[in-house]
Amino acid sequence: MNDTLKACLWMTGAIASFTTMAVAGRAVSLDLDTFEIMLYRSLIGIVIVLSVASLAGTRRHISANKLRLHAVRNLFHFAGQNLWFFSITAIPLAQVFALEFTLPFWAMAMSVVILGEKLTPNRVLAAAVGFIGILVVTRPSPETVQFGQLTAALAAIGFAGSAVFTRLLTRTEKITSILFWLTVMQAVFGLVCAGIDGAIALPEPASWPWVVVIAFAGLVAHFCLTTALSLAPATIVMPIDFARLPVIAIVGMLLYAEALDPFVFLGALIIFAANYANIWYETRRRPAPAG
């Protein structure tokens, strides 16, 4: 089996995991608030990460050398994940996933400031076209704009910040260390935010399986996506990831009677095209000859 086919198979796992996490998130949303979901998800995540690290012999990779950087990265991710959990209960799932595809544009802008990367003309064009796609998806007006659309867009910004700081961390840190501090710090953030009102709800017995599913699905999704990108270029992986949109749209229609909005698909297609064109151009750039 060649690497491209392997990458495709890993991406089907990512798509299934992201979709499962959205369904599970909705299932527990009436029982727990987003902070409580993050608290229990992270506590279970700690057990998962330490168990897998013990089996793989990578617990020695956990270090406290970059705690400040881990903290910033996890604040971005915690904010993004909470906004995402809120958004999947507030607007159709297809809209949430479509707006999530704007993540590369926000990461591109942050990379200029944080990583010192250059803002090339093709990146500016890709961001401009992507913004047009956002307008098509949301069609903002006093009559149609929804708060959930804003939180979904902000969630993408949170995930973008997380991605940029993850790139910084991967220069010196191992994946086990990154995942360990991800779960530990977000458990602390979840505990503080969930307990700020003096009351932290325990999941009902029927909700515990869904909470466990959220914890597993989140880790599996990102592991599958990272593995796929290690096997094949983004120009191959990205179109497969785009299949998340029709999949979640069908799930939303079957489980929640959500209408299939053609504007969501059109806007998402524009966002995808801008992303794909930028990646295609970047991967084919040739370094200038020396001298």
pLDDT in tens, 243-290: 888 899 999 999 999 988 898 889 888 988 888 888 788 777 655 444
Residue pLDDT, tens place only, 136-160? 887 777 666 789 999 999 999 999 8
pLDDT over 70 percentage in the chain: 95
pLDDT for residue 211: 95
Q: Residue 41 is encoded by which pair of tokens?
A: 């998800």
| Spans of the chain, pLDDT less than 50 | 288-291
Q: How many CB atoms lie within 10 A of CB 111?
A: 19
| Alpha-carbon distance values, 159 to 73, 75, 253, 276 (Å) | 9, 10, 26, 19
pLDDT for residue 142: 67
pLDDT for residue 290: 44
Q: For residues 37 and 194, what is the distance between their CA atoms, to the nearest angstrom?
A: 9
pLDDT for residue 187: 95
pLDDT for residue 170: 82
SS3 87: helix
AA identity, residue 126: A
Q: Residue 194 is encoded by which pair of tokens?
A: 């969930």
